[in-house]
Amino acid sequence: MISDDEQGYDLDLFCIPKHYADDLEKVYIPHGLILDRTERLAREIMKEMGGHHIVALCVLKGGYKFFADLLDYIKALNRNSDRSIPMTVDFIRLKSYCNDQSTGEIKVIGGDDLSTLTGKLLMLCFKDIIDTGKTMKTLLQRLKQYNPKMVKVASLLVKRTPRSVGYRPDFVGFEVPDKFVVGYALDYNEYFRDLNHICLISETGKEKYKA
**What amino acid positions are annotated as catalytic residues?**
131
DSSP state of 187: -
Are 139 and 125 contacting, i.e. CB atoms less than 8 angstroms apart?
yes
CA dihedral 9, 12, 18, 21 (to 10 degrees): 50
3-state secondary structure of 183: strand
Which residues have C-beta within 8 Å of that of residue 191, sequence separation ≥ 6?
182, 209
Among candidate residues 199, 187, 173, the one with its CA nearest the CA of residue 67: 173
The amino acid that residue 27 corresponds to is V
Count of alpha carbons within 13 angstroms of residue 50, beta-carbon side: 15
